[in-house]
């Protein structure tokens, strides 16, 4: 048997035949009469279903995401941020007289943006009226909200420069600055370690309703800080600062999605699933909104009818982004991933590289001349080999997703065609049909 297989492998290598074959059709009679046949088929059925993650954890991501963007197909997404602050240490002698200079919020870009950054952005800062508290599972989700005041502490209109590293500075209310300075200088019980977060609950940063871009900012000990600038009376040459660092555990982003005028159902539902046919023969991934795509192969086992034994040799999945859904303002994602899930859509493992050691990211092949020929591809040979012959509860599907961080802290998105679309998703199978053992 081993000698036969080795010989068969050599024959396949040098004399392999290929044809275009739909596994639901009858196999043609034009192939060379042999004990085995090597077939390449690119019409294998792929069923595309869009699925939404119910809850996205946006606390603890070290990201402030602010702004608004309207996708050409999927509606308008908006993000605001809640930022509580930790109590700083204050050391100026109580006998001194201190004078406020200013109170500033400083936001440092993290490099992420979506939309036209040549357009102006306006951000307003409001005082929180409720203390931000984590849920019982120690997270906060994108749909969480807390009450904040109606009178802005500060507001700024600016032209974004997310790639330059220049921070956005927003001057906040002098009244709040004086209150904080006075309370700390007088060693008020209200700003003690135990009570500070009840005294100053933090801020909500809200984009203007006319915003046309989304911007990412970093959160950390020295990032997204509020700085109180002051000086001791008669010591102008010796300025002082009191730096309020954000609470990186309870800071979170709130997302909104306006679906009106889109093919999506008007109202989101729990465990939401939408077929590609309902979305104009499209599949969709959308960070921030939680959308990913389930891929199924309902007729894969039909190829087993073509011989005594059928073995999958190679399988390549190609996914073609819809041309008018990406641009310089909404670039294609660098990486997308495939995970294997069981009949209950529970992920069991990842589609890995040929060594089996690393999660396989879809390779993006760009064609800037003929954009319709831009695609991502995956080698799914191992999955298809193992899936061939599986039935019932043993069958698996593939889930096309972004890395988890892209769902929590970006609105990265990808729209592609199902097999009935203009540039259809394709599964190219190469398999061997044995007429006898």
Query: Cα–Cα distance between 69 and 116 in angstroms, integer?
Result: 9
Structure tokens at 72: 């050409």
- Which among 226, 230, 227 has a CA at the least distance from the CA of 100? 230
Query: What is the predicted pLDDT for the residue at 163?
Result: 87
Q: What are phi and psi of 237, to 5 degrees?
A: -85, 5
Q: 3-class DSSP state for residue 185?
A: helix
Asked whether the whole model's pTM tops 0.85, one would answer yes
Give per-residue pLDDT as tens, 97-142.
999 999 999 999 999 999 999 999 999 999 999 999 999 999 999 9
Q: Which residue has the higher pLDDT, 335 or 398?
A: 398
Kindly indicate the confidence band of residue 156, based on its pLDDT and cuts at 50, 70 and 90.
very high
- Which among 356, 417, 358 has a CA at the least distance from the CA of 381? 356
Query: What is the predicted pLDDT for the residue at 34?
Result: 57
> What's the whole-number mean pLDDT along residues 66-81?
98
Provide the strand spans (E) within 233-362. 239-244, 252-258, 273-275, 282-286, 291-296, 309-319, 337-341, 347-350
> What's the whole-number mean pLDDT along residues 324-348?
92
Kindly indicate the confidence band of residue 437, based on its pLDDT and cuts at 50, 70 and 90.
low
Non-local (6+) Cβ contacts of 350 within 8 A are 337, 338, 339, 340, 359, 360
In the chain, the percentage of residues whose pLDDT exceeds 90 is: 78
> What's the whole-number mean pLDDT along residues 221-245?
93
């Amino acid at each position: 048997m081993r000698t036969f297989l080795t010989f068969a492998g050599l024959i396949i290598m040098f004399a392999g035949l290929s044809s275009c074959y739909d596994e639901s059709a009858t196999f043609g009679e034009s192939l060379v009469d042999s004990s085995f046949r090597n077939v390449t088929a690119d019409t294998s059925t792929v069923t595309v279903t869009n699925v939404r993650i119910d809850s996205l954890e946006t606390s603890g991501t070290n990201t402030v995401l602010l702004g608004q963007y309207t996708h050409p197909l999927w509606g308008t997404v908006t993000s605001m941020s809640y930022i509580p602050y930790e109590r700083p240490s204050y050391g100026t002698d109580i006998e001194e007289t201190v004078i406020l200079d200013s109170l500033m919020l400083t936001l440092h870009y993290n490099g992420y943006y979506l939309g036209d950054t040549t357009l102006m952005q306006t951000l307003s800062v409001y005082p929180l009226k409720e203390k931000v508290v984590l849920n019982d599972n120690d997270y906060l989700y994108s749909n969480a909200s807390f009450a904040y005041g109606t009178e802005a502490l500060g507001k700024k209109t600016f032209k974004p420069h997310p790639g330059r590293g220049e921070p956005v500075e927003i001057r906040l209310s002098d009244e709040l600055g004086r209150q904080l300075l006075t309370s700390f200088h007088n060693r008020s019980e209200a700003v003690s370690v135990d009570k500070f977060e009840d005294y100053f609950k933090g801020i909500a940063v809200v984009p203007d309703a006319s915003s046309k871009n989304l911007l990412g900012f970093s959160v950390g000990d020295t990032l997204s800080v509020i700085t109180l600038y002051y000086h001791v009376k008669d010591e102008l040459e010796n300025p002082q600062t009191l730096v309020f660092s954000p609470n990186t555990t309870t800071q979170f982003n709130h997302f909104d999605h306006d679906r009106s005028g889109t093919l999506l159902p008007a109202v989101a539902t729990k465990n939401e699933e939408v077929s590609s046919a309902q979305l104009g023969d499209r599949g969709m991934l959308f960070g921030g909104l939680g959308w990913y795509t389930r891929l199924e192969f309902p007729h894969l086992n039909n190829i087993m009818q073509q011989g005594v034994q059928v073995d999958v040799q190679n399988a390549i999945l190609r996914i073609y982004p819809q041309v008018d859904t990406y641009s310089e303002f909404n670039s294609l994602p660098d990486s997308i991933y495939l995970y294997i899930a069981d009949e209950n859509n529970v992920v069991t493992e990842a589609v890995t590289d040929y060594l089996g050691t690393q999660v396989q990211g879809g390779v993006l092949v760009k064609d800037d001349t003929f954009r319709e020929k831009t695609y991502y591809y995956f080698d799914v040979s191992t999955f298809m080999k193992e899936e061939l012959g599986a039935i019932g509860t043993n069958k698996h599907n593939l889930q096309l997703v972004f890395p988890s961080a892209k769902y929590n802290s970006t609105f990265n998105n990808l729209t592609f065609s199902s097999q009935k679309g203009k540039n259809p998703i394709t599964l190219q199978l190469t398999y061997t049909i044995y007429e006898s053992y």
